Amino acid sequence: MRRFWILSFCLLYVLPACTAQKASSRVEKLLKQMTIEEKVGQMTQLNLDVICEGEIYKLVEPHHIQQDKLEKAILNYHVGSILNCGGHAYPLKQWHEIIGSIQKMATTESRLKIPVLYGIDAIHGANYVSGSTLFPQQLAQAATFNPNLTEEGGRITAYETRAAGIPWNFSPVLDVGRNKNWSRFFETFGEDPYVCSVFGSALVRGYQGGNGSVVDDQHVAACMKHFLGYSGTRSGFDRTPAIISAIELREIYRPSFQAAIDAGALTVMINSGEINGIPVHANPEILIDLLRTEMGFKGLAVTDWEDIIKLVKNHRVAADLKEATYRAVMAGIDMCMVPNDYDFTTYLIELVKEGRISEKRLDVSVRRILETKNKLGLFENAMPPGTATFSEFASDKHKAAALRSAEESITLLENHLDILPLRKDAKIFVTGPAANSMTMLNGAWTRTWQGTDAQFDDASKNTIYEALLSKNKNVTFNEVCGLETMNNMNGDPLEMAMNADVIVVCVGELPSTELPGNIYDLELPKAQQEYVKMLKLTGKPVVLVLVENRPRIVREIVDGCSAVVMAYQPGDFGGDALANILFGDVNPSGKLPFTYPKYQVGTSTYDHKYTESFDKNFGNSAFQPQWEFGHGLSYSTVEYSNLSVSCEDEIIVKVNVQNRSYRAAKESVLLFVTDEVASITPAVKKLKAFEKIELAPGEMKEVVLRLNKKDFEFIGADAEPTFEAGFFQITIDQLTQRIELK
């Protein structure tokens, strides 16, 4: 407790003094004028439903602002932030009406004319804006191993989100996907901390357009989420307890957030869960010591949905909401995503007036909130833009970027006897629950929270079947099998299969996220497995396409398939991208950003410890994934040669990469480091660098990758970065070079 109060003193008195020196004169002037009630209002974030016509979660359609509710929020409670979409996406015109009504009242009728900071989850495009450009989900983007595509996708997402008048995006997800069962696995950049760091910081740059000091009116504030360890649950179920050592917390879960902070991310959202028995929202060691002092984050920290309420109802570390409010504010949160009432506001005002929380403590958070609004230019112009200002909304240029991202993400896992690419005149039978579904291509956070309401799908975009048919009129379709059961058959699907040259069967799972996405078994549903087995009995070549939130176990159906393709959730242009790859118009270049498990138990990561590979026969074969991290085939033969390493001030690694085929190819060159001996048990290998290159037919390139001694550090017993001299192995593809560092 003594340490807690020392930290609180620093938070209340030392940090404000430092940050005040850098704060704008506008912010400081406002702070001096604000009442306690106005300051607490700035720290309050409400759900849009609270100010709309109708009841919460049962709004009148179409959704519109209710004036008296808005007045209560803005004029009576001085609310500083609003979020959400009222349940489903709106067209630009409706967003302009909603945002315009809110900002007009805030900037013309409130006493201090402070604009509202509006936030939304635009995680794979401006997914709550009708007609916007939708990109692959983050997991698929990581499979491109091309962060330039993600940065450009972030820029487009920001542009189309700001076109709606929304300046704050609750993205990127920087959680590291270590548990394949986790319902939000598809929202991560995979299992590797380095990949998550590279892609996460690229997305921050795309969203904000710079280093975060100023964000122009075509970009948005990024929000890193969910700090910290949210994905580290033991069960894989959403928002369940995590037991994470200090070493693991800093080695696995911290780096991606540090990279995003270094890239200038303006805001952060806090992990809803608990780590080692302490809810993160009530943990100053995470929110002050680590986030602020060690990592140097200066921006705005917002709770997740109802998370102060959850300190009472779920975590049971506070007897009532007033005590929960006290604990969360003193632990370091700046803004509460309440989201559906004014209890937080009422209790925080009481706590200040009772002297339990000082007004200086409020100033710390309010300064951060006002500075964020200032950096976004909201004081100059908070109103939504005219449509003409954003003439490239959903433009062909934006659509082409989404298509490229999908094409480079799709990963060819198996291709026996070179069945792919398919002939353009082949007779193809397309089937399975994902074959004619835009919903499954896009996943959750698509026009609605769970992304399962097909009425909001963009009918102008192609499903897998429609995309294949657009290239080959000899394509027939019958779904036959649903997600969980065999459907009533229209026509004779067996005859359709027998008449085809090739069967393309598209399997997967219904989009879901958070609690609704919890599952008890990673196995692909039995009905789909049995259907694939039945199709293989026809003797026809079977191309298995996986459209998945997370890797579902397919061990029993892979053998006997002529090809296997991982499509992930590739977005609105995923059908077109897959068709381009299956017909050979695009050479596949995706690589798995995670270890694809073969079994339900022992779904280890590629950077596992040596003891995790011990088998029951005292051998070393327990690590048996279906496909390894970084696996991905091409229609070209790419060869590596002449690996060399020079060790001076920096470690320079060179390797020759040659395309031995007649097709142009894209190849992701992955560099792994193995520490042979360390005082903390080392992983078998860790990814430390990668670069994606293009190779013309027959072309050879020398790829140069640079490392420094920090790349050979690990988190030591004191939870600090540690370098130990010794021998290391550098591995690229099948080539290995042993080096000594002193």
Domain boundaries defined on the chain: 2-382, 410-612, 636-741
Q: What confidence tier does 21 reach under pLDDT thresholds 50, 70, 90?
A: very low
**Mean pLDDT within 35-58:** 97
Q: Is the Cα torsion angle 280, 284, 288, 289 positive or negative in sign?
A: negative
pLDDT in tens, 622-679: 788 999 999 999 999 999 999 999 998 899 999 999 999 999 999 999 999 999 999 9
**Mean pLDDT within 694-708:** 97
For residue 98, CA distances in Å to 85, 273, 711 come to 10, 32, 48
Residue 168 pLDDT > 60, yes or no? Answer: yes
Q: What is the mean pLDDT of the chain?
A: 94
Residue 2 pLDDT > 60, yes or no? Answer: no
Q: What confidence tier does 487 reach under pLDDT thresholds 50, 70, 90?
A: confident
Preceding amide of 226 cis, omega within 30: yes
User: What value, to the nearest 5°, has the Cα angle with vertex 708 and ends 704 and 712?
Assistant: 115
Q: What confidence tier does 617 reach under pLDDT thresholds 50, 70, 90?
A: confident
Q: What confidence tier does 234 reach under pLDDT thresholds 50, 70, 90?
A: confident
As beta bridge partners, residue 83 has 47, 119
Task: For residue 693, give every residue at least 6 positions away whose Cβ sits within 8 Å of its Cβ, in sequence order, or none.
Answer: 657, 666, 667, 669, 701, 703
Q: What confidence tier does 13 reach under pLDDT thresholds 50, 70, 90?
A: very low
What integer pLDDT is reported at residue 390 of this predicted model?
93
Task: For residue 115, give every residue at least 6 positions away whose Cβ sits within 8 Å of its Cβ, in sequence order, or none.
Answer: 103, 106, 107, 373, 378, 379, 382
Question: Which one-letter amino acid corresponds to residue 411?
Answer: T
Question: Which one-letter amino acid corresponds to residue 599?
Answer: Y
Question: Which one-letter amino acid corresponds to residue 525?
Answer: P
Q: What confidence tier does 478 reach under pLDDT thresholds 50, 70, 90?
A: very high
What integer pLDDT is reported at residue 18 of this predicted model?
47
What integer pLDDT is reported at residue 525 of this predicted model?
95
User: What value, to the nearest 5°, has the Cα angle with vertex 721 and ends 720 and 726?
Assistant: 130
Residue 264 pLDDT > 80, yes or no? Answer: yes
What integer pLDDT is reported at residue 531 of this predicted model?
95
What integer pLDDT is reported at residue 14 of this predicted model?
46
**Mean pLDDT within 279-283:** 97
What integer pLDDT is reported at residue 24 of this predicted model?
82
Helix (H) or strand (E) holding 703: strand 700-707
Residue 12 pLDDT > 50, yes or no? Answer: no
Residue 20 pLDDT > 50, yes or no? Answer: no
Spatial distance between the Cα atoms of 488 and 569, rounded to a whole number of angstroms: 27
**Mean pLDDT within 594-606:** 89
The domain covering 636-741 belongs, at the CATH homologous superfamily level, to Immunoglobulins (2.60.40.10)
CA-wise closest residue to 464 among 486, 441, 496:
441
**Mean pLDDT within 590-606:** 91
Residue 283 structure tokens = 């943990």
What integer pLDDT is reported at residue 622 of this predicted model?
78
Q: What are phi and psi for residue 671, nearest 5 degrees?
A: -110, 125
Report which of residues 593 and 484 the model is more confident about. Answer: 593
Per the CB < 8 A criterion, the answer to whether 444 and 450 are in contact is yes
Residue 211 pLDDT > 70, yes or no? Answer: no
What integer pLDDT is reported at residue 620 of this predicted model?
79
Topology given in CATH for the domain delimited by 2-382: TIM Barrel (3.20.20)
Radius of gyration of the chain measured on its C-alpha atoms: 26
Residue 467 pLDDT > 70, yes or no? Answer: yes
Cβ atoms < 10 Å from Cβ of 57: 10
Does pTM surpass 0.75? Answer: yes
CA-wise closest residue to 703 among 742, 730, 676:
730
What integer pLDDT is reported at residue 618 of this predicted model?
82
Which of 3.40.50.1700, 1.10.10.60, 3.40.190.10, 3.40.50.300 would CATH assign to domain 410-612? 3.40.50.1700
Q: What confidence tier does 489 reach under pLDDT thresholds 50, 70, 90?
A: low
Percent of the chain's residues with pLDDT above 70: 96
Q: What confidence tier does 448 reach under pLDDT thresholds 50, 70, 90?
A: very high
H and E: helices and strands count for the chain: 23, 27
Task: For residue 429, give every residue at least 6 positions away whose Cβ sits within 8 Å of its Cβ, in sequence order, or none.
Answer: 475, 476, 477, 478, 493, 496, 497, 499, 500, 502, 503, 504, 540
β 665-675/686-695 pair status: antiparallel
What integer pLDDT is reported at residue 491 of this predicted model?
61
Q: Is 615 exposed, middle or buried (0-12, 13-18, 19+ CB in 10 A)?
A: exposed
Spatial distance between the Cα atoms of 240 and 47, rounded to a whole number of angstroms: 24
What integer pLDDT is reported at residue 616 of this predicted model?
79
Which amino acids are annotated catalytic?
304
Spatial distance between the Cα atoms of 176 and 158, rounded to a whole number of angstroms: 23
Q: What confidence tier does 619 reach under pLDDT thresholds 50, 70, 90?
A: confident
Percent of the chain's residues with pLDDT above 90: 90
**Mean pLDDT within 452-477:** 95
Q: What are phi and psi for residue 277, nearest 5 degrees?
A: 90, 0
Residue 5 pLDDT > 50, yes or no? Answer: no
Per the CB < 8 A criterion, the answer to whether 721 and 294 are in contact is no
Residue 617 structure tokens = 């026969």
Residue 273 structure tokens = 């869960």
